[in-house]
Amino acid sequence: MDSSLGQTRANGFGCDEDVLKVIYESISDLNVQLSRQQRIEKSPHAVLFGAGGKLDSLGLANFIVIAEQKLYDSLGFRIDLTENDPFSPNAGHFRTIESLANYVSDLASRRTKAPQ
Amino acid sequence: MQAGRSTALKLYLISDFNLETLGHYLSNGSTWPQVAATSAPFGQVFPALLHPGPDPLDFALVWTSPEKVVPAFGDALKSIEIDEDRVLAELGEFANCLHQAQTHFRAIFVVSWTLPAHQRGNNILGLRRHGPRRLLLKMNLALAEKLENCASVYLLDGQRWMDENSYSPKLWYLTKTPFHPAVFSRAAGDLKAAISGILGASRKLLVVDLDNILWGGVVGDVGWEELRLGGHDYVGEAFLDFQQALKSLRNRGILLAIVSKNDEAIAMEALNKHPQMVLRPGDFAATRINWNDKAANVAEVAEELNLGLQSIVFIDDSPIERARVREALPEVYVPEWPDDKTLFASTLLQMGCFDTAYAADEDASRQQMYATEGHRKLSRQMVSSAEEWLLSCHTVVTVEEQCDANRERVVQLLNKTNQMNLATRRLSSQELQIWLQQENRKLWAFRVSDKFGDSGLTGILSLEIRSEIARITDFVLSCRVMGRNIESVMVAFAAQHCAALGLQELRADYTPTAKNKPCLRFWMSSGFSYDEGKNRFLWLLRQPYPFPRGIEVRLPSLPVSI
pLDDT tens digit string along B303-359?
A: 889 888 989 999 999 888 898 899 889 999 999 999 999 999 999 998 888 887 666
* CATH number, position A26: 1.10.1200
Got the DSSP string for B204-243? -EEEE-SBTTTBBS-HHHH-GGG-B-SSS-HHHHHHHHHH
B486: pLDDT strictly greater than 90 = yes
Q: What is d(CA A79, CA A111) in angstroms, rounded to the nearest whole number?
A: 8
pLDDT at B496: 95
C-alpha span between A104 and A100 (Å, rounded): 6
CA distance to partner chain B, nearest, from residue A4 (Å): 31
Average pLDDT over every residue of B108-132 = 80
Task: Say how far apart CA B194 and CA B553 lie, in whole Å.
Answer: 37
CA distance A12 to chain B (A): 28
Q: Chain A residues with CB-CB distance to B under 8 A?
A: 29-30, 32-36, 57-58, 61-62, 64-66, 68-69, 82
The residue among B28, B163, B171 with the most chain A CBs within 10 A of its CB, best to mutate, is B28
* Contact flag B170-A65 (C-beta cutoff 8 Å): yes
Task: Name the more confident of B32 and B160.
Answer: B160
Q: Is A65–B181 a contact, with Cβ atoms under 8 angstroms apart?
A: yes
pTM for the predicted model, two decimal places: 0.69
Q: What digits encode the pLDDT tens for the residues B63-116? A: 999 999 999 999 988 888 889 999 999 999 999 999 999 989 999 999 999 987
SS3 call for A21: helix
Categorize the per-residue pLDDT at B54 as very low, low, confident or very high, splitting at 50, 70 and 90.
Answer: confident
Considering only the beta carbons, identify the residue of A35, A57, A66 that sits closest to B181. Answer: A66
Q: What is the mean pLDDT of residues A89-109?
A: 87
Contact residues on chain B for A29, CB-CB shorter than 8 A: 181
Minimum-distance CB partner of B21 among A35, A58, A68: A58
Instruction: Note the pLDDT of residue B367.
Output: 61
B430 near B102, Cβ under 8 Å?
Answer: yes
- pLDDT at position B399, please? 95
Chain A positions touching B184 (Cβ under 8 A) are 33
pLDDT of residue B385: 56
| Residues B429-452, mean pLDDT to the nearest whole number | 91
The answer to whether position A41 is within a domain reads no
Query: What value of ipTM does the predicted structure carry?
Result: 0.84
Q: Is residue A75 part of a domain?
A: yes
Residue extents of the structural domains in chain B: 9-198, 205-350, 384-554
Please give the share of chain B, as a percent, with pLDDT higher than 70: 91
In the stretch 173-212 of chain B, residues with CB closer than 8 A to chain A read 174-175, 177, 180-181, 184-185
Taking CB atoms and an 8 Å limit, are B181 and A30 in contact across chains? yes
Assess whether the region B9-198 and the region B384-554 belong to the same CATH fold: no
Residue B511 has pLDDT above 50, yes or no: yes
Domain membership flag for residue A59: yes
Query: Is the CB of B28 less than 8 angstroms away from the CB of A82?
Result: no
Which CATH architecture does the domain made up of B384-554 adopt?
3-Layer(aba) Sandwich (3.40)
Question: A52-66, B1-15, B47-61: which has the minimum mean pLDDT?
Answer: B1-15
pLDDT score, position B153:
94
* Residue A80 covered by a domain: yes
Which of A58, A88, A94 would best serve as a mutation to test chain B binding (most B beta carbons within 10 A)?
A58
**Cα dihedral sign for A92, A96, A99, A104?**
positive
Weakest mean pLDDT among B72-76, B114-118, B381-385, B540-544: B381-385
The pLDDT of residue B381 is above 80: no
Measured CA to CA, the distance from residue B132 to residue B122 in angstroms comes to 9
Share of chain B above pLDDT 90, in %: 62
Domain containing A99: what range? Answer: 16-35+46-113
Q: What is the structure's pLDDT at A5? A: 45
Q: Which amino acid is at B2?
A: Q
Interatomic CA distance for residues B128 and B136, integer angstroms: 12
Number of domains present in the structure of chain A: 1
Amino acid B418: pLDDT: 83
Instruction: Kindly report the nearest CA distance between residue A33 and chain B, in angstroms.
Output: 4
pLDDT of res. A37: 86
Q: Is B131 on the interface with A (CB under 8 A)?
A: no
| Alpha carbon of A36: minimum distance to chain B alpha carbons (Å) | 8
Closest in A30, A34, A65 to B171, CB measured: A65
Name the least confident of B269-283, B316-330, B432-446.
Answer: B316-330
Closest by CA to B28, choosing from B162, B179, B186, B188, is B188
* pLDDT at residue B5 in the model: 47
What's the average model confidence in pLDDT over B131-135? 86
Which fold, B205-350?
Rossmann fold (3.40.50)
Q: Residues of B with CB below 8 A from A36's CB?
A: 28
Q: How sure is the predictor about B363, in pLDDT bands with cuts at 50, 70 and 90?
A: low
Query: Contact B329/B299 with Cβ under 8 angstroms?
Result: yes
CATH superfamily of B9-198: SGNH hydrolase (3.40.50.1110)
Per mean pLDDT, which range of B190-194, B200-204, B470-474 is the poorest?
B200-204
Chain B stretch 29-48, residues whose beta carbon is closer than 8 A to a beta carbon of chain A? 29
CB within 8 Å of A55: residues ≥ 6 apart: A38, A40, A48, A49, A63
The average pLDDT across A86-99 equals: 84
Residue A116 above 90 pLDDT?
A: no
Residue in A33, A64, A69 closest to B21 by CB = A33
Chain B contact set for A82 (CB, 8 A): 170, 174
* Residue of A28, A35, A56, A62 for testing the chain B interface, max B β-carbons within 10 Å: A62
Which residue among B18, B28, B181 sits closest to A35, beta carbon to beta carbon? B28
Q: Considering the domain boundaries, does residue A77 fall inside one?
A: yes
Residue of A nearest to B20 (CA): A58
Residue B537 touches chain A, beta carbons under 8 Å: no
The strand pair at B396-401 and B441-450 is best described as antiparallel
* Residue B101 near residue B45 (C-beta atoms within 8 A): no
Confidence of residue B198 (pLDDT cuts 50, 70, 90): confident
Alpha-carbon gap: B177 to the closest alpha carbon of chain A (Å): 9
pLDDT at residue B557, rounded to an integer: 62
Q: What pLDDT sits at residue B264?
A: 92
Minimal CA separation from B181 to chain A, in Å: 7
Report the first-to-last Cα separation within chain A, whole angstroms: 26
Chain A residues within 8 A of B181 when measuring between CB atoms: 29-30, 33, 62, 65-66
Q: What is the pLDDT of residue B307?
A: 87
Of the partner residues B168, B170, B185, the one whose CB lies closest to the CB of residue A32: B185
Strand-strand pairing, B153-156 and B205-208: unpaired
What mean pLDDT, rounded, does chain B reach?
A: 88
User: For the residues A69-82, what does the mean pLDDT come to?
Assistant: 91
Chain A, chain B: beta-carbon pairs less than 8 Å apart:
49
CA distance A10 to chain B (A): 31
A26 domain residue, yes or no: yes
Q: What is the rounded CA–CA span in Å between residue A7 and residue B531? A: 74
Distance CA B488, CA B469 (A): 20
Candidates B314, B288, B313, B289; CA nearest to B301 is: B288
Distance, in Å, from the CA atom of A86 to the CA atom of A72, rounded to the nearest integer, reads 19
In angstroms, the CA B387 to CA B392 distance is: 9
User: What span, in angstroms and rounded, lies between the C-alpha atoms of B443 and B441?
Assistant: 7
User: Does residue A7 sit within a domain?
Assistant: no
The answer to whether position A104 is within a domain reads yes
Chain B CB contacts of A65 below 8 Å: 168, 170-171, 180-181
Averaged pLDDT for residues B133-161: 93
